[in-house]
Amino acid sequence: MPVSKEDLNALLGARHASPHSVLGMHPCTRGRGKGVVVRALLPRAQACSVVEPDAAGSPEFPMKRIAAAGFFEVTIPGRPSVFKYRLRATAADGTISEFFDPYTFLPTLGEQDLYLFNEGNDHRVHEKLGAHPRDLGGVKGVSFAVWAPAATRVSVVGNFNAWDGRAHPMRSLGVSGVWELFVPGLGEGELYKFEIRDGSGAILLKTDPYGTRFEAPPGNAAIVCTTGRFPWTDGEWIKSRSALGDRPDRPLSIYEVHPGSWRRRPEEGNRPLTYRELAVELGAYAVEMGFTHVELMPIAEHPFDGSWGYQVTGFFAPTHRYGTPEDFAALVDHLHGLGIGVILDWVPAHFPRDSFALAAFDGTALYEHADPRQGEHRDWGTLIFNYGRSEVRCFLIASALAWFDRYHVDGLRVDAVASMLYLDYSRPAGEWIPNRYGGRENLEAIDFIRRVNDLAHHYHPGVAMIAEESTSFAKVSRPTADGGLGFDYKWNMGWMHDTLRYFSKEPITRRWHQDDLTFGMLYQYAENFIGVFSHDEVVHGKGSLLLKMGAWHIPEKAANLRALYAHFWANPGKKLLFMGGEFAQAHEWNHDASLDWHLCQYQDHEGVRLLVRDLNRLYAAEPVLSSNDFNPHGFRWLSCKDSGANVIAYLRMDAFERTLFAAVGHFGGAVRSYRIGVPRRGFWREIINTNSEYYGGSGLGNDGGRAAEDQPADGFSQSILVTLPPLSTLIFKWQSD
């Protein structure tokens, strides 16, 4: 049974879609009796033999080289069935290698695996597709699997086969569109890609969509890597997190960090910190500053530094820039040990057009939409996932769950949700396709969002799913059972924009913009909001938070920023602050440079940092401020209409009004004596004064507090007469005596 000319030409031309039907060992009848035929394609071998290591004497059967390109064949008569064997190959330089034949192993994916994947219901398909070291019947190697339904041939290539697509063609697993191959003898550290022949005959060299580790550009090859060996020590943290369940109203003060520019090593070529260095230094700083969580801007693998990680090519892999996947696990584990949660930015809204990655993966619009009216993000030059395709949903859901499964992260902040929800996002009329009801909502994306949120909560109770969503889409942070999208939180960008607009005005003109401070309370309880001053506000010429403040001189700008921060922490809503904002970074953020830590030697900057630290500590210590954000009965205006005085005042309180805080913001430029109505007699202790000398102010304040007087004001029968320094926020706590 010699190989057919058709099969031989297809294999030598790297066009064969079913190499296992030809290569390997097969029963045959030839002449008298039964036997087996063994075929191998080894492009770099000059000679090859079949060796039976388990038989007495380890018999060896030389193979005939029937094609100069390295095709070998031998018929072994008298053997009733196939047997376990190895190939012994001799290279042109005389080097001899011995290995098990890849084409003797059964598929590593079963029919049920493929069915669930094609249906979109294999929630952990990342454990099957991609590259996985395995032991099959005592033979160690790596199983490779990739989804490429329009391909006519797929091979796995790497250093192990000189990147030759003829050497390891994969088998097609039928209508599933999946291609698979187990390669014995390979292990961790191997670089690989998939060589794909598309329907037109063109050759595409693609990296693994499910890769767990990647080399640096320009190579961009995936690296075989096992992710489950890290010795985690955070069992108590995970247990306590799970006990929280679906309780979103809990302390959440988030420090948003870009790992590559938080702090650098100037003495070592200005390199960024590694994951393990970040664990120590960032962990200690977050604890000192009182943040409850660190949010890392996208650390999933990406080729271009200037995308800040938002144009992802490796949806399952921590970027190589700061270390290995195990190093990243060590960062998370260390932060958990310090009591700090870890949130990751996750980007399922789009992906870049890089030819080595997802775009036109098998020569067709596989992960994206074919129609540019659905498949292009024109603002970002990227492509939009086809959420209606089951296998694409499976891929993205697996990506989300993998960060929880493999790296124990505590939440995902989902980027660009608004662009996912609307078919006409940033598109003029006539350049988008309505949904089946004629509307603008992306029904398939909405279904995907609900599903991934529900699954994250199902498999990992207590994790936080956070939406960066800038529109008025209803019920973003409401359960899917109630018709919501299922997020735990939504970024409150409306409040942020309004408030920054107010503080950017000169104090003398602020009286005309009082509604910028008060409008947000009209919708404050429509969602579970996180108040944010994120990286988006300090890039692209927007300037730093400090320089946004409406003043001419740095001391006045710092006073404004301190007043803003105290109002921010006293106001309802969880908190997020981008790195550098806590010490009034003066320059706009630069992803290629360290923060300006040297500024902390100056009081205008160090004072802001100390205030943020104290605000975080107050926030964590007082449940009224940290676990009462979504209770509409926990807030009451005291004064919100006195625009001429540039004053606002409000209460934060528990449901029974046993703990009361009064926040008074005075955003004008003169000292005022001001009467504020309060709901309780007794002493109102001044616990925060942003004008304190400790924070860089003049020290003018209220001598520790004020006793309530029987003088009506603001609808109450008693009030306190307070001294309001210019550009300041004061926080008082009620004491019964």
Closest CA to 667 of 604, 724, 585, 605: 724
Of the chain, the percentage scoring pLDDT greater than 90 comes to 91
Mean pLDDT of 62-85: 89
Which one of 77, 104, 131 terminates a domain? 104
Coil, helix or strand for 548?
A: helix
The count of structural domains within the chain is 4
Q: For residue 55, which amino acid is it? A: A
Residue 137 lies in a domain: yes
Mean pLDDT of 392-402: 98
Do residues 613 and 290 touch, judged by C-beta distance below 8 A?
A: yes
Please tell me whether residues 409 and 540 are part of one structural domain.
Answer: yes
Output the pLDDT for position 737. 66
Residue 245 lies in a domain: no
Coil, helix or strand for 394?
A: helix
Output the pLDDT for position 247. 84
Please tell me whether residues 600 and 647 are part of one structural domain.
Answer: no
Mean pLDDT of 633-661: 94
Q: What is the CATH number of the domain that holds 688?
A: 2.60.40.1180
- Distance in angstroms (rounded) separating the CA atoms of residues 212 and 225: 6
**pLDDT level of residue 547 (50, 70, 90 thresholds):** very high
Do residues 516 and 505 touch, judged by C-beta distance below 8 A?
A: no
Do residues 393 and 451 touch, judged by C-beta distance below 8 A?
A: yes
Residue 232 lies in a domain: no
Closest CA to 158 of 133, 195, 196, 129: 195
Please tell me whether residues 204 and 341 are part of one structural domain.
Answer: no
Do residues 625 and 634 touch, judged by C-beta distance below 8 A?
A: no
The whole domain housing 657 covers 626-735
Output the pLDDT for position 561. 98
| pLDDT surpasses 80 at 30 | no
Q: 468, 488, 516, 629: which is the annotated catalytic residue? A: 468
Do residues 197 and 153 touch, judged by C-beta distance below 8 A?
A: yes
Q: Residues near 371 by Cβ (< 8 Å), separated by ≥ 6?
A: 433
Residue 524 lies in a domain: yes
Mean pLDDT of 317-341: 98
| pLDDT surpasses 70 at 33 | no
Please tell me whether residues 174 and 300 are part of one structural domain.
Answer: no
Report phi then psi at 48, rounded to 5.
Answer: -155, 145
CA distances to 465, 536, 586, 631 from 476, rounded to whole Å, are: 11, 21, 35, 17
- Distance in angstroms (rounded) separating the CA atoms of residues 558 and 603: 10
Mean pLDDT of 211-230: 95
Closest CA to 173 of 231, 129, 228: 129
Pure H helices in 194-320: 235-244, 275-289
Output the pLDDT for position 31. 58
Residue 235 lies in a domain: no
Residue 678 structure tokens? 């309060």
Residue 74 lies in a domain: yes
Mean pLDDT of 691-720: 95
- In the residue annotation, 468 being an active-site residue is answered as yes
Each residue's pLDDT tens digit, 410-429: 999 999 999 999 999 999 98
- Distance in angstroms (rounded) separating the CA atoms of residues 530 and 597: 27
Please tell me whether residues 637 and 678 are part of one structural domain.
Answer: yes
Please tell me whether residues 341 and 411 are part of one structural domain.
Answer: yes
CA distances to 72, 76, 97, 635, 682 from 49, rounded to whole Å, are: 9, 11, 11, 82, 95
**pLDDT level of residue 32 (50, 70, 90 thresholds):** low
Please tell me whether residues 121 and 267 are part of one structural domain.
Answer: no
Each residue's pLDDT tens digit, 424-451: 999 998 899 999 999 999 999 999 999 9
Output the pLDDT for position 623. 94
Residue 497 structure tokens? 């924009």
Do residues 576 and 612 touch, judged by C-beta distance below 8 A?
A: no
- Distance in angstroms (rounded) separating the CA atoms of residues 442 and 439: 8
Please tell me whether residues 141 and 287 are part of one structural domain.
Answer: no
| pLDDT surpasses 80 at 249 | yes
Q: 7, 368, 376, 415: which is the annotated catalytic residue? A: 415
531 forms beta bridges with 492, 575
- Distance in angstroms (rounded) separating the CA atoms of residues 726 and 289: 26
- Distance in angstroms (rounded) separating the CA atoms of residues 51 and 48: 10
**pLDDT level of residue 456 (50, 70, 90 thresholds):** very high
| pLDDT surpasses 90 at 77 | no
**pLDDT level of residue 28 (50, 70, 90 thresholds):** confident
- In the residue annotation, 73 being an active-site residue is answered as no
Q: Residues near 516 by Cβ (< 8 Å), separated by ≥ 6?
A: 498, 499, 501, 502
Mean pLDDT of 263-278: 96
Q: What is the CATH number of the domain that holds 489?
A: 3.20.20.80
Residue with tokens 């662009």: 419
Residue 123 lies in a domain: yes
Please tell me whether residues 97 and 119 are part of one structural domain.
Answer: no
Q: What is the mean pLDDT of the chain?
A: 95
Which one of 62, 88, 104 terminates a domain? 104
Q: What is the CATH number of the domain that holds 31?
A: 2.60.40.10
Tell me how far the alpha carbon of residue 467 is from its chain's centroid: 12
Output the pLDDT for position 524. 96
Residue 97 lies in a domain: yes
Which one of 574, 598, 620 terminates a domain? 620
Closest CA to 16 of 169, 226, 125: 169
